[in-house]
Structure 1
Amino acid sequence: MGRHSLPEDSAGPEHSPRQDPKRSGSAARRRTVAISTALALVLATGAALALRGELLSPMASCASDSVRLGVAASPDIAPALREVAERARATGVRSDGRCLDVKVTSRESYEVAGALGDDSRDPGFQVWLPDSSLWVDRAASSPTASVPLDTLGGVASSPVAVAATPSAAERLGWPGKRYSWARLAAAATGGEDLRLGSADPARSATGLLALARVNASMAEEGGGAGKGGGAEARTAATARSLAERTSDSDEQALTTLPRDDSGAEEGNPRRNQALILSEQAAYRHNARAGGAPRLRLFYPEDGTAGLDYPYTVLNDDSLTTARARAATRFLTFLAEGGSRRILAGHGFRPTGGEAVAAVTRTAGGRAPQPYGVAPASGPSGAELDTALGMWTITVQSARLSTVVDVSASMADPVPGRRGESRMDVTRASLLRALARFTAEDEIGLWEFSRRLDGARDHRELVPTRRLGRRGPDGSTQRDALTAAFGALEPVRGGATGLYDTTLAAYRKAREGYAEGRFNAVVVLTDGSDQDEGGIGREALVEELNRLADPARPVPLIAVAVGPDADLSACEAVAEATGGTAQRVDDPARIDAVILEAIVSASRAGGARSAR
């Protein structure tokens, strides 16, 4: 994901210059204490403060005695927060005796998550309120993250559901017929031929959470992880279908619905008949529908995900003690009855996820749809990365050169897996990974050890070609790779020619670069380079730096398998190409790590291109 600069709004009189890096650690600790202390004091003494004048007459002058707080909020909740902020000003809400002046700006959550990794700009706000905690996790885990983030709790919630036009809903049996995520997805890819749209999962928490739930639902209905290949193929089919009807944002997705309820546009193939939406987005659409069709909501019976709107404080140099206390004061004001009514009036549920009858009815929920069930706990970070990885390789087809270590050590047993070697588990994991790719993806296979093919340490087993390509005998590239993965065997007495192989594979991938695709080299090794006569590590890194071209990126994804793999070498060569490296103690996780690495490398590519 690219990093986006944010406007440098004036921070007001409390803004302090960025501190010397030598003092930033102690300053951050002091600010953390300030936040926690302020929150405890406000929560413990809120009632007393109100009695002592914390809520003063609206006539009280705040012009020369206010503390300004900047809040960047997700576009869906920003209007409600502005109304709450105006109410705070109108009623004279104070923090430490000073009027609370909250300025709310609308910011796409994915843009802020990317921008918080850039320490060259002042974000211009002290509180961030994205629509989902996944953006906070992403910002905090970024390798370039520079701003400590402290989440103090949520302020609202909204479940993710599937909204359909009246005619489509009737055809699907609304409200009496209940669906799982898997069956709703099947309606969009099977006989129902439902035109289902979504916001881009790379930019929308709604889209990504739903895709992760579809993946989990299909795995459950397909018999669990052991039978996940078919489930993964069905999820990929869903992703392909959604990719054809993807909008940049939830708001833009709503514009793809029929513009009136006459039915004339229902058959228009460019118009969606259903959307993956939050309940709040459906509420907002129905409340202002005018002549447009009012949506009906299907709440998946196997548990929906939910948006949780985390109240997150940027614990950076601009956060003075006064602002820290103002941030906690505004949070407690958001929890008060009047503010909660404002949030409900904009279509939000309370933080616990309990259904609000007026909200649900306006949004299009009816019994026996399970709208009253609070959203389940969200998908794990690994599940989200898997879903996003699948989305990445579906929307932007991949061209991958897979390079697998077949040295003797790959025959070593895997702890905890009776009778299975590293190669046994690696083969199974690679086959699972292969099932995640589409017929349009291009994948090839090399194996390497030491002097495997004459003087060369590597051998090309399957050239990199489109998985759907058929040979003279009618078999596909996927068939060839399946057979080749299954036939991989360790070479008895074989050493590891890692560096020469890496360079050769990278050069070949650069020569075969495919425009418009995600190009990468995936190297799996369980050892360190043992070729004394080959290229050295420093020379390899220097040559990779020379070959790497930001305009034609080919990141190297290095997977260090087991405790004996040279992770530092993997990190060095991967970094030279803009790629990533990761150690995997259990080879069964190789497929998940490859998908995670594709996501990470694609984000890094976007960041480089944005500079």
Structure 2
Amino acid sequence: MPDDEATDSTRGRRPRRRTVLIATALVLSVAAGTGVAAQSGLLSFADGCTGSAVRIDLAASPDIAPAVRAVADDARRNNVTSDGRCVDVRVDARENYEIADGLATGTSAPDYEVWLPDSDVWVERALDAGDGVALTPAGNAATTPVTLAAVPSVGKRLGWPEKTYTWAELTATAAGKDALRLGAADPARSATGLLAFSSVVGSTREEDPDSDTRIAATAEALAERVSESDGQVVRSLVRGASGNARGNEAVFLTEQAAFVHNSADDGGSDLQLFYPTDAAPVLNYPLNLVNEPDLTTEESRAAMRFISLLSEDGPQRTMAEHGFRTGHSVVPGGLVRTAGGRAPQPFALTNAQPPASDMVDETLGMWTVTVQDARLTVVVDTSNSMAGPVPERGGESRMDVTKTSMLQTLARFTPADEVGLWGFAAGLDGAKDFRKLSETAPLGERAKDGATHRESLSDAVSALAPVATGSAAATGMYDTTLAAFKEAQSSYVSGKCNAVIILTGGPDTDTTARTSLMTELRKLADPRRPVPLIAIAVGPEANREEMDEVARITGGAGYEVSDPAEIQAVMIEAIMSVGGTKR
């Protein structure tokens, strides 16, 4: 069932920061086609090799690694050369999220020169985290759309292939009396899971702008059937007519993964694909040179030789044989049919592309907040800066409005969420600038007197008051931030969204303490135990830019509210945004 429309293999989002642009004739020729470079001998083929081969290590997404490895093997057999030397590309299948996290933190030098993840999602994650490794975009290897795959019995129940659905309509079948057992790979570790869930969020909001409750319910239902990886999500499906009643009946899956599953002769049932009518996102397999300025000329040219080879007819056929869409103008009918697609499912997807980056970020945060309990240490400025009145609030002080907003926010957390409270001001507790007012503990936990932690924490928030200690220019915020971060990190709880929230109403001009804090945070920040700082400046006196610079070292960010009444919305937004912090 051939597709009569072209797919765009170069669609997707461009990395936002620290992307190195190669201003050389080599890359310009690759962008325009390899003809000029080949004619010049820069990217030459030869009848044989001279000297030793140029070794290039390529880290690839596990799904595309077999196809790229086949191309690399053919290149070695056929003596593909760059400047007369054979190109020896070794392909290693590596999990995308692990590579992205390693590049973002720069904790170790990459042992590969080319990275081929399945989506720009990972490139942006690698580029968004401070002083990581530089990446140079070098085109795309293939594409594949994200779909919903169902076992035959469920496909029949849903009216496959005649009946079509939006993303919202498909996932609505996972709720209710006869709920579909719908699974997904963890959106924190899978671009397929993340882009599918982003599409669900966008589609559901399109139908109903006030649909966050419905979205949260969908996330909770998915969380009960989430798999750690794309490979595991396929294995979570029921097998046969009398399959495991606990297995998934449908999963978010790429067309390519369904193609591989349906091509296997392992006794499993062929999957049937639903291509949502409001456009499926695509995985776009971006190629990137890693630390390109540090590569030798031979390595850089050999890597680009292999990258240009991937766009040629033979390698493109290899990609198609492995179930990927290529830059060709027609999608082979056999690919769609084998994967489980049938008309009138809208499998052309000519205009499909990943959701906007802000939607992806929000969705990841929403997923994390919904499916993971929070563990938050809230640190509140109790210096005189919080005593000032808030305009148009009837004489209420910043502290008064801040406390009201905090209590409203506290009511939104579940009994399993852990929240603690600190206060700070210069010299607040003798030699210390901070005082722990309430331990970080589950809100539903009960004390010996029968009171819940939520109740005692609410009392502690209500008792907050500005104190006249220290100087207005040195609030003790930086020393307090370091102490709170160290404690939160030492008591880190895996599987929860751990974070420290700093609320301050004034500046801290102790530049020595600030420099020391930033130095220590760079040493302490650990992607395996992420504790992002969320710094909220209450009013214009606090310096949001300086706070943001400090917070970003940990994967957090700085925010500013002109009215403390906005704190509730900002805290929820901030927690959602760090919900996708690398883990």
Structure 1 residue 583, shift from structure 2 partner: 3.5
Please list, as runs of the form range in 1=range in 2, the aligned pairs for 1:351-370 lying within 5 A after superposition: 355-370=331-346
**Alignment partner, residue 534 of structure 2:** 557
Q: Which amino acid aligns with 2:150?
A: A
For each residue in 1:499-556, what CA deviation from the matched residue of structure 2 results, as whole angstroms up to 9, or x when unmatched?
48958995998799685544444222342369x9xxx9689969x99xx999998765
1:525 aligns with 2:504: yes
Q: 1:311 aligns with which of 287, 291, 299?
A: 287
**Alignment partner, residue 252 of structure 1:** 232
1:467, 1:490 → 2: CA distance?
23
Cα 1:249–1:46 change in 2 (3 A) is same
Verify the 8 A CA contact 1:509 1:554 in the aligned structure 2.
no
1:469, 1:594 → 2: CA distance?
22
1:56, 1:512 → 2: CA distance?
56
**Alignment partner, residue 167 of structure 2:** 181
For each residue in 1:204-246, what CA deviation from the matched residue of structure 2 results, as whole angstroms up to 9, or x when unmatched?
11112222222222322222xxx3xx41x33332222222222
Structure 1 residue 164, shift from structure 2 partner: 0.7
**Alignment partner, residue 593 of structure 1:** 574
- TM-score of the pair, normalised by structure 1: 0.72
Supply the RMSD in Å over aligned alpha carbons.
Answer: 5.1
**Alignment partner, residue 102 of structure 2:** 115
Q: Could you tell which deviates more after superposition, 558-567 or 323-332? A: 558-567
1:347, 1:167 → 2: CA distance?
24
Structure 1 residue 272, shift from structure 2 partner: 1.1
For each residue in 1:156-207, what CA deviation from the matched residue of structure 2 results, as whole angstroms up to 9, or x when unmatched?
1111111110011112222222222223222223333211111122211111
Q: Which amino acid aligns with 1:596?
A: S
**Alignment partner, residue 172 of structure 1:** 158
1:131, 1:153 → 2: CA distance?
13
1:354, 1:408 → 2: CA distance?
68
Q: Which amino acid aligns with 2:225?
A: R
Verify the 8 A CA contact 1:505 1:521 in the aligned structure 2.
no
* SS state at 2:319 partner: helix
Structure 1 residue 382, shift from structure 2 partner: 3.2
Structure 1 residue 559, shift from structure 2 partner: 2.2
**Alignment partner, residue 78 of structure 1:** 65
1:48, 1:519 → 2: CA distance?
53
Structure 1 residue 123, shift from structure 2 partner: 2.2
Verify the 8 A CA contact 1:150 1:314 in the aligned structure 2.
yes
1:293 aligns with 2:236: no
Q: Which amino acid aligns with 1:264?
A: S
* SS state at 2:368 partner: helix
Verify the 8 A CA contact 1:389 1:596 in the aligned structure 2.
yes
1:112, 1:507 → 2: CA distance?
26
Q: 1:235 aligns with which of 204, 215, 219?
A: 215
Identical columns (%)? 43
Cα 1:567–1:509 change in 2 (3 A) is same
Q: 2:28 aligns with which of 40, 52, 56?
A: 40
**Alignment partner, residue 8 of structure 1:** none
For each residue in 1:468-520, what CA deviation from the matched residue of structure 2 results, as whole angstroms up to 9, or x when unmatched?
7999xxxx9999999999x99999x9998964895899599879968554444
Structure 2 residue ranges without an equivalent (≥5): 1-17
Verify the 8 A CA contact 2:274 2:341 in the aligned structure 1.
yes
Cα 1:94–1:463 change in 2 (3 A) is closer
Structure 1 residue 81, shift from structure 2 partner: 0.8
Verify the 8 A CA contact 1:159 1:353 in the aligned structure 2.
no
- TM-score of the pair, normalised by structure 2: 0.75
Verify the 8 A CA contact 2:387 2:399 in the aligned structure 1.
no
* SS state at 2:258 partner: helix
Verify the 8 A CA contact 1:175 1:369 in the aligned structure 2.
yes
1:442, 1:103 → 2: CA distance?
46
Verify the 8 A CA contact 1:156 1:351 in the aligned structure 2.
yes
1:432, 1:399 → 2: CA distance?
17
Structure 1 residue 313, shift from structure 2 partner: 0.5
1:165, 1:410 → 2: CA distance?
62
1:511, 1:135 → 2: CA distance?
25
**Alignment partner, residue 242 of structure 2:** 264
Cα 1:257–1:549 change in 2 (3 A) is closer
* SS state at 1:343 partner: helix
For each residue in 1:318-339, what CA deviation from the matched residue of structure 2 results, as whole angstroms up to 9, or x when unmatched?
5112222222222222112222
Structure 1 residue 96, shift from structure 2 partner: 2.4
For each residue in 1:103-137, what CA deviation from the matched residue of structure 2 results, as whole angstroms up to 9, or x when unmatched?
22211111111222465644222111000111111
2:506, 2:328 → 1: CA distance?
49
Cα 1:46–1:589 change in 2 (3 A) is same
Q: 2:354 aligns with which of 355, 378, 388?
A: 378
Verify the 8 A CA contact 1:541 1:572 in the aligned structure 2.
no
Verify the 8 A CA contact 2:150 2:249 in the aligned structure 1.
yes
Cα 1:372–1:556 change in 2 (3 A) is closer
1:130 aligns with 2:117: yes
Q: Which amino acid aligns with 2:315?
A: S
Verify the 8 A CA contact 2:482 2:517 in the aligned structure 1.
no
Q: 2:80 aligns with which of 90, 93, 117?
A: 93
Q: Which amino acid aligns with 2:152?
A: P
2:542, 2:328 → 1: CA distance?
46
Verify the 8 A CA contact 1:390 1:436 in the aligned structure 2.
no
